[in-house]
Each structure stands twice: as structure tokens, then as C-alpha cells.
């Protein structure tokens, strides 16, 4: 159920655009780099029109302290980067395909290992599938090249673009939203 264009509710959870960036100073997901982004850089990224940060909270708790934070930005995936996938699943070929990128994503330390991360990813998939304002075929992420992080995205049905980034600090993955359409 959707309240307005910048929020999404699902199974007792709300995804809302962050309004009070000062509250993010208290957020801790256990990752120094992610904490630094949410505490110190998220507002600057919003001001520069680079990404929007959303919080996830329990719908019954009206306090805006986030259980999870996710920053999203626009992306485009060139056809040659996913030709092998889209040749099987796309009816038309285009030079690039519109996407939304998960720029940063963290679940608060005390809420980890409760499937909240998976629920947030599913909320993002549903949001862009059901309220697709400009066209969005793929969800992308440049995930930390850490087995636990990669396993999370693979468990949530993301796929690697290629093996070229296997030894890099981050691995690029995608999810094709068309897979969810009936």
C-alpha cells in the first residue's frame, strides 16, 4: 500500500524519504564506510541531486529512527554488459536499459540477521515495478567484494554482470524487474 509517491508500505514496514538528516548521525550498521556516508555525505549527495536516501521503519512505530537506510540513484546499463541475459529475456534491443542503482544500503546493527535486508530489497523491487514513473528495467548495485555481502545479493536473485571484477574491491550485480511481472 502506497501513501504518496515518495513512500511505500509493505507487511508492516514503511519506506520513507529521509527528511531529518541529523537523525542519521545515530545510525550504525557496523560498517565504517557506510556509517560515514549516511552520517556525513547523504545530505550532500541529495543537495547535489546525486541520490535520495530512504529510511525503513516499522509502520507501527512513528519515530523516524531507521531500522535500515538505502540510497538510490539513476543508472543505465549498456546492452553489451547484459546482452547474454537480455537476449533471452528482452523482446527489443536498445543501446542501454534504464535502471535504479542501490548506491548505499545498510541495516542497523541491532536489526541484522532478521531478514530485514531481504524485505527492504523486495520493497525496492516492488516500488519500481508498481510505481515505475519513468521506466526502470533493472536494479543494480556495486556491492562490496565480501562473501557475506555477495551471498546476500545472490540470495535475493541478483546476478553478476561478469567475472571481470572478481578481484576488485566491488562487484557489479543486477536484478531484472521484468522477471517479477506476470
Number of domains in the chain: 1
Residue 2 falls inside a structural domain: no
pLDDT value at 76 more than 70: yes
Determine, yes or no, domain membership for 1.
no
| Residue 120 is assigned to a structural domain of this protein | yes
Residue 14: domain span = 7-180
Residue 86 domain flag:
yes
Task: State the pLDDT at residue 100.
Answer: 94
Q: What is the pLDDT of residues 91-127, one digit of tens each?
A: 677 788 889 999 999 999 988 988 999 999 999 998 8
For 68, residues 6+ apart whose C-beta sits below 8 A from its C-beta are 29, 55, 56, 105, 106, 107, 108, 111, 116, 117, 120
pTM of the predicted model as reported, rounded to 2 decimal places: 0.89
Within-domain flag for 174: yes
Domain of 88, CATH number, reads: 3.40.630.30
Amino acid at each position: 500500500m502506497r501513501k504518496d509517491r515518495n513512500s511505500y508500505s509493505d507487511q508492516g514496514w514503511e519506506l520513507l524519504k529521509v527528511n531529518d538528516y541529523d537523525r542519521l548521525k545515530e545510525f550504525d550498521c557496523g560498517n565504517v564506510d557506510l556509517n560515514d556516508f549516511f552520517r556525513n555525505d547523504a545530505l550532500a549527495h541529495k543537495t547535489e541531486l546525486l541520490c535520495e536516501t530512504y529510511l525503513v521503519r516499522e509502520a507501527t512505530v512513528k519515530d523516524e529512527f531507521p531500522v535500515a537506510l538505502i540510497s538510490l540513484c539513476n543508472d543505465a546499463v549498456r546492452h553489451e554488459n547484459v546482452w547474454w541475459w537480455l537476449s533471452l529475456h528482452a523482446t527489443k534491443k536498445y543501446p542501454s536499459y534504464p535502471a535504479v542503482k542501490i548506491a548505499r544500503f545498510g541495516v542497523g546493527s541491532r536489526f541484522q540477521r532478521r531478514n530485514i535486508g531481504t524485505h527492504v530489497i523486495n520493497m525496492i523491487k516492488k516500488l519500481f515495478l508498481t510505481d515505475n514513473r519513468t521506466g526502470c528495467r533493472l536494479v543494480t548495485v556495486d556491492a562490496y567484494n565480501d562473501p557475506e555481502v555477495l551471498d546476500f545479493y545472490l540470495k535475493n536473485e541478483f546476478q553478476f554482470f561478469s567475472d571481470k571484477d572478481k578481484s576488485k574491491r566491488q562487484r557489479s550485480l543486477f536484478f531484472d524487474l521484468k522477471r517479477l511481472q506476470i
